[in-house]
Amino acid sequence: MPKIHPTAAVDPRARIAEDVEIGPGCVVEGDVEIGTGTILRPHAVIRRYTSLGEGNFVDSGAVLGGDPQDLKFDPATVAYLRIGDGNTFREGVTISRASKKGQATVVGSKTYWMATSHAGHDARIDDGAILVNGALVAGHAHVGPRAFLSGHVVVHQFTWIGEGVMSQGHAGTSTHMPPFVLFAGINRVAGLNIVGLRRTPEVTPEDRRQIQEAFRLTYRAGFSAAEALARMDQCSDWGAPASRYREFIRRVVAAEKPYNRGLGRLRKGGSDD
């Protein structure tokens, strides 16, 4: 049976795996599903329409699946928060469920959320992403795999953060940030995340060279995003990482309102070495 502290308030309609641990003062509402090996520390709150996969850790004061912070939202709306496996949510993390009927805010697997980080309604946070203390991801934003958002970073609504992106602390963006870049300040690309690329086993030296060429076309050759994309399309020999960079640029070029936010601009002195 699940190990449920007697002071926890657990709705009998919640579906809880046999070995889940639920600590003192926790609240688990109805229409919740919690997978095997998950631990809720004291005073964690899992709201209605939330599902957690296996092996998640939810620390004290976290609230998962709260109503969207949207003045137009009707609390009777059946919308979801869906969370994968092996995630860590530290103290005070908040994630809102989606705002439209049948839709979901989605968190992948093996993400790490430090204290007081937040993701808004309809956001998507992919596998392996890390949100440092106070990082804020607005509604409808998308944070790619293994992205690293430093302390108190702000990601505007309808904004995309590519895979492997890393940010400076206190940075903010209302523009899309391509895969593998560093961003700093407001809407500024500082260069490529070369250290991160070198630490990624599946990215080869040839992949890094191709990504550097994609970055050069985007930011150093004087092209518009559409022109840079046309030249990238001539590179038929690119491997998967550079091809994913190219497809991100294609998505940005084709984006329609409210996602037509353009790319972050290169900061003076930015480096791709």
**Dist. CA 19–CA 146, nearest whole Å:** 29
Task: Say whether 140 is catalytic.
Answer: no
Q: pLDDT for 132-189, tens place per residue?
A: 999 999 999 999 999 999 999 999 999 999 999 999 999 999 999 999 999 999 999 9
Domains of the chain (ranges; CATH) run 3-140 (2.160.10.10), 197-268 (1.20.1180)
Catalytic residue among 139, 144, 162, 270: 139
Catalytic residue among 23, 65, 122, 140: 122
Q: Give the residue among 64, 128, 54, 126 at the shortest CA–CA distance from 92.
A: 64
C-beta of residue 121 within 8 angstroms of C-beta of residue 97: yes
Where the chain has pLDDT below 70, the residues are: 269-273
C-beta of residue 18 within 8 angstroms of C-beta of residue 3: no
Task: Say whether 139 is catalytic.
Answer: yes
Task: Say whether 262 is catalytic.
Answer: no
Catalytic residue among 43, 121, 142, 176: 121
pTM for this one?
A: 0.95
